[in-house]
């Protein structure tokens, strides 16, 4: 008997993954109750969403929204959502990063709400609206955007009589000065996946385009090689720290000046503030360094939408809530305070919560981002298998930043693997 159990346990145990993939829990999608009151379930993870939902339920007697907190997308939330869609018991609405939205669409996991949403298009920034539309379909309401800027440790820069760099060439010479002043000091940490994508985005080095009904993958383009070569140069010269972003070593470095800058989106303000408390008063924000002197190119990193998932019984009510969450002044004020979300709605850019912050020495950092937002390159498309693409990219980037490969090779490999998987699944690929 024991033998049987042991042997069976092998078979059963090894399949645990499939069990996890197949099993899911959730509540049924939006349903209209007999009383006519619409009921919507919403899955998300941003701090502040729960309070916003409470406020909505109070002010909207005809729609009842239930908020359920899930793991952040990349940490399991997206998988849970996809599993729920597969099982047919997904919620009506889900928080979805722009970069993942096309992958969800490619799995048939999203509902087209263009019918209800198109009238509100003018309320949103152009680039943000583009992020939730694909081939004429609208899949949700943009919530926040991630215009990028340069976070820098002003104390470190001041101590070396340096000003915030305005071009990438200056950034490189500052990197040398900082490292020369103290071998423990570095200009930055390695950039991975979507943080790296932001660097490419600024340079107009797109990764995906669509041509008719076919995809083109351009991670290995000349424009991308230029960005890669620049950062490869910094890495080869030993100017980049080995502390991975979001790791404790990174936060420590941000706090004690060993990592002098973060090239990142507006929400990094919340990350830096929360993780590197000892850096309070030392950090400041400057516009993104430019490839050409006097340029105004800006990249975007992150940002998310409230997307309508497949099977939603009441997409109209779902849109009503999603649009309200993105445009209500009081609700969004709370999101700025709790999650440093930068609104995608044009009418919210003057919120009083977007004001000076003592952590940043009293600087009103949002002014920098407000100036940057209109210059975010709107010509960027995410691919249909992003989770897989960035996993492959990170395999190579990890090696490149630690001196065991090159960023160019990482991009090339990620492109090849993405193309191979796309072809395997039958997606049309343009030559």
Partner 1 sequence: MINVAAPADARTGKRPPGIRPPATTRPGAPRPRARRLRPLWFCAPFLALFAAMYVAPIVYAAVSSLFTVHRSGLGLTAPSKVFDPLGNYARALHDGAFTGALGRVALFGVVQVPLMLCLALALALLIDAKSARGKGFFRLAGFLPYAIPGVSAALVWSFMYSSQSSPINRLLAPLGVSVPFFDGHLVLWSVANIVTWSWVGYNMIIIYSALQAIPAEVLEAARMDGASALRVAWSIKVPAIRGALVLTAVFSIIGSAQLFNEPTVLRPVSGGAISSSFTPLMSAQSAVAAGNYPYAAAQSVVLAVLVGVVSFVFLKLTGRGGKA
Residue numbers at the binding site for partner 1 (CB under 8 A): 1-3, 6-7, 9-19, 21-23, 79, 82, 86, 102-103, 105-109, 134-135, 137, 192, 210, 213-215, 242-244, 246-249, 252, 310, 384-385, 387-388, 391-392, 394-402, 404-405, 421-422, 424-428
Q: Which residue is it, tokens 């346990």?
A: 9
- Min dist CB 393 to partner 1, Å, is 10
Q: Which is nearer to partner 1, 148 or 390 (CB)?
A: 390
- Min dist CB 379 to partner 1, Å, is 17
Q: Which is nearer to partner 1, 41 or 103 (CB)?
A: 103
Closest residue by Cα to residue 301 from 285, 288, 292, 283: 288
41 contacts 30 by C-beta, under 8 angstroms: yes
Torsion sign over Cα 289, 133, 336, 280: negative
Q: Which is nearer to partner 1, 61 or 426 (CB)?
A: 426
- Min dist CB 184 to partner 1, Å, is 10
315 contacts 113 by C-beta, under 8 angstroms: yes
Q: Which is nearer to partner 1, 48 or 264 (CB)?
A: 264
- Min dist CB 372 to partner 1, Å, is 28
- Min dist CB 284 to partner 1, Å, is 25
Burial of 17 (0-12, 13-18, 19+ CB in 10 A): exposed
In 75-205, which residue ranges form alpha helices assigned H by DSSP? 77-87, 101-106, 114-117, 126-131, 154-159, 168-181, 193-202
- Min dist CB 409 to partner 1, Å, is 11
Q: Which is nearer to partner 1, 258 or 314 (CB)?
A: 258
In 166-303, which residue ranges form alpha helices assigned H by DSSP? 168-181, 193-202, 222-236, 248-256, 268-275
Q: Which is nearer to partner 1, 78 or 319 (CB)?
A: 78
- Min dist CB 98 to partner 1, Å, is 16
Buried b (16+ CB within 10 A) or exposed e, 200-233: bbbbbbbbbebeeeebbbbbbbeebbebbebbbe
User: For residue 20, what is the enclosing H or E element?
Assistant: helix 16-22
For strands 38-44 and 63-69, give the pairing: parallel
Burial of 99 (0-12, 13-18, 19+ CB in 10 A): buried
Strands (E), 312-416: 342-343
Q: Which is nearer to partner 1, 102 or 255 (CB)?
A: 102
- Min dist CB 400 to partner 1, Å, is 7
- Min dist CB 264 to partner 1, Å, is 17
- CA distance linking residue 42 with residue 324, whole number of Å: 13
Q: Which is nearer to partner 1, 49 or 194 (CB)?
A: 194
For 126, list phi and psi in degrees, rounded to 5.
Answer: -60, -50
Q: Which is nearer to partner 1, 168 or 215 (CB)?
A: 215
């Amino acid at each position: 008997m024991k033998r049987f159990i042991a042997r069976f346990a092998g078979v059963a145990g090894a399949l645990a993954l499939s069990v996890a993939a197949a099993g899911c829990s959730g509540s049924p999608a939006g349903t209209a109750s007999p009383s006519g009151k619409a009921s919507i379930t919403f899955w998300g993870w941003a701090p502040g969403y729960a309070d916003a939902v409470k406020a909505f339920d109070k002010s909207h007697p005809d729609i009842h929204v239930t908020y359920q907190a899930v793991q952040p997308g990349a940490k399991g939330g997206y998988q849970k959502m996809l599993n729920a869609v597969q099982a047919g018991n997904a919620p009506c609405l889900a928080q979805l990063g722009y970069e993942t939205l096309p992958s969800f669409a490619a799995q048939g996991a999203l509902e087209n709400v263009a019918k209800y949403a198109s009238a509100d298009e003018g309320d949103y920034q152009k680039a943000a609206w583009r992020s939730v539309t694909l081939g004429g379909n609208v899949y949700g309401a943009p919530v926040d955007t991630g215009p990028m800027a340069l976070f820098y440790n002003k104390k470190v820069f001041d101590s070396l009589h340096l000003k915030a760099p305005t071009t990438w060439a200056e950034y490189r010479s500052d990197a040398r000065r900082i490292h020369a002043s103290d071998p423990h000091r570095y200009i930055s940490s390695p950039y991975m996946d979507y943080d790296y994508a932001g660097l490419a985005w600024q340079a107009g080095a797109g990764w995906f385009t669509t041509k008719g009904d076919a995809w083109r993958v351009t991670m290995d383009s000349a424009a991308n090689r230029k960005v890669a070569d620049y950062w490869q140069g910094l890495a080869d010269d030993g100017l980049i720290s080995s502390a991975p972003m979001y790791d404790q070593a990174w936060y420590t470095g941000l706090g004690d000046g060993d990592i002098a800058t973060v090239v990142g989106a507006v929400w990094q303000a919340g990350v830096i503030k929360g993780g590197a408390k000892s850096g309070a008063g030392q950090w400041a924000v400057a516009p993104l360094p430019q490839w050409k002197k006097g340029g105004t190119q800006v990249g975007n990193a992150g940002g998310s939408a409230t997307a309508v998932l497949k099977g939603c019984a009441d997409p109209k009510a779902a849109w009503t809530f999603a649009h309200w969450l993105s445009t209500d002044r009081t609700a969004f004020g709370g999101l700025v305070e709790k999650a440093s979300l930068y609104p995608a709605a044009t009418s919210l850019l003057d919120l009083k919560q977007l004001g000076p912050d003592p952590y940043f020495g009293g600087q009103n950092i949002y002014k920098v981002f407000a100036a940057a937002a209109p210059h975010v390159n709107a010509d960027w498309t995410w691919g249909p298998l992003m989770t897989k693409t960035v996993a492959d990219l990170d395999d190579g980037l990890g090696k490149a930043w630690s001196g065991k490969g090159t960023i160019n090779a990482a991009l090339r490999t990620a492109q090849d693997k993405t193309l191979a998987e796309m072809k395997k699944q039958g997606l049309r690929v343009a030559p």
